[in-house]
Amino acid sequence: MIAIPADAPGLSFGPLYDTPSYKFLPLSEMYMKDVVVSADNIILPVGQGLQGSLMAIDIARVSIASGCCGLMQSALDTALAYSANRKMFGGKNLDLEGIQWMLGDVATDLEASKLLYRAAANALGTPEGPVMAAHAKRFVPDAAVKAANTCTQVLGGMGLLQPYGMDRLSRLAQMLRIVDGTTEVSRVVIGRSLQKRAKSLPPLPIPKGFGEG
Ligand SMILES: Cc1cc2nc3c(=O)[nH]c(=O)nc-3n(C[C@H](O)[C@H](O)[C@H](O)COP(=O)(O)OP(=O)(O)OC[C@H]3O[C@@H](n4cnc5c(N)ncnc54)[C@H](O)[C@@H]3O)c2cc1C
């Protein structure tokens, strides 16, 4: 929540990590030692930084879910364009019901993902914002990994070749399961909200002696 100029004394960076599938996102360690900036660099009023950074994380989680939808659409369109053209057994690959079912499942996951990330985006800044962002971050990147793998499978051996770009989508989708709160950390957030909800429900009686000893 404080803007630090890249040339600020005391700020330094480690060497760039080798990131084969996302060169667009340069990645390295960042070190700060006795960095001093002017008060003008404080972005949010003092005392609101933590709240602001948590909100920023929620926005990032929803953005990742939205990006995953683009990734899924791209994988689906590649698989459709390929299988509608690939001749086999006197017809086209896309004529096979099994292939339609595989791609149909990807399409359903994509529609569900779009609804979820949009609902999470609408909830940003409300008390439901963090858990809705966690739902989106938990569900959508998982669906994207599945979609990228399924669509690769539909292309058969060609799916592994670079020009079709499917391998890159798979690795990118996996990366999106990790950044800005892993799938597991999203589950932790969701689990805590379930515990809160459980507290608001009337307790169900448990028979005396059940499960004791
Ligand atoms: C491309 C990229 C960009 C990044 N950009 C940034 C950035 O800008 N700023 C920044 O600060 N960080 C950044 N990161 C780091 C990223 O936030 C972390 O990699 C991520 O939060 C996971 O932390 P970790 O790698 O230390 O994994 P670990 O914390 O070591 O976790 C290892 C595994 O254990 C699981 N795990 C952890 N806790 C639990 C639990 N309670 N229950 C069950 N499983 C659990 C995790 O989900 C994971 O699968 C970036 C990472 C990548 C790959």
Answer yes or no: is 56 within a domain. Answer: yes
Contact of 33 with 88, CB cutoff 8 Å: no
Answer yes or no: is 177 within a domain. Answer: yes
CA distances from 161 to 20, 153, 155, 166, 185 (A): 15, 12, 10, 8, 33
What CA–CA distance (Å, rounded) separates 135 from 139? Answer: 6
Which ligand 1 atom lies nearest to the CA of residue 22? Answer: 1
Domains in the chain, number: 1
Query: Ligand 1: residues within 6 Å at CB?
Result: 22, 25, 27, 175, 178-179, 182, 184-185, 188
What CA–CA distance (Å, rounded) separates 76 from 146? Answer: 11
Answer yes or no: is 186 within a domain. Answer: yes
What mean pLDDT, rounded, does the chain reach? 95
Contact of 134 with 181, CB cutoff 8 Å: yes
Question: What is the pTM assigned to this prediction?
Answer: 0.92
Beta pairing class for 11-13 and 87-88: unpaired
Report the nearest-CA residue for atom 50 of ligand 1: 179
158 alpha carbon – ligand 1 mean position (Å): 32
Answer yes or no: is 179 within a domain. Answer: yes
Nearest to 144 by CA among 117, 120, 180, 181: 117
| Mean pLDDT, residues 53-72 | 97
Name the residue of 179, 180, 192 to mutate for ligand 1: max ligand atoms within 8 A of Cβ. 179
Report the nearest-CA residue for atom 53 of ligand 1: 179
Answer yes or no: is 212 within a domain. Answer: no
What CA–CA distance (Å, rounded) separates 117 from 39? Answer: 36
Lowest mean per-residue pLDDT among 14-23, 64-73, 133-142, 175-184:
14-23
Question: Which residues span the domain enclosing 182?
Answer: 52-198
182 alpha carbon – ligand 1 mean position (Å): 6
Q: What is the CATH number of the domain that holds 172?
A: 1.20.140.10
Name the residue of 178, 180, 183, 192 to mutate for ligand 1: max ligand atoms within 8 A of Cβ. 178
Answer yes or no: is 206 within a domain. Answer: no
Give per-residue pLDDT as tens, 84-122.
999 998 999 999 999 999 999 999 999 999 999 999 999
What CA–CA distance (Å, rounded) separates 12 from 183? Answer: 30
Q: What is residue 143's predicted lDDT score, i.e. its pLDDT?
A: 98
What CA–CA distance (Å, rounded) separates 177 from 174? Answer: 5
What CA–CA distance (Å, rounded) separates 135 from 67? Answer: 15
179 alpha carbon – ligand 1 mean position (Å): 6
Answer yes or no: is 25 within a domain. Answer: no
78 alpha carbon – ligand 1 mean position (Å): 30
* Per-residue confidence band for 213, with pLDDT thresholds at 50, 70 and 90: low
Answer yes or no: is 40 within a domain. Answer: no
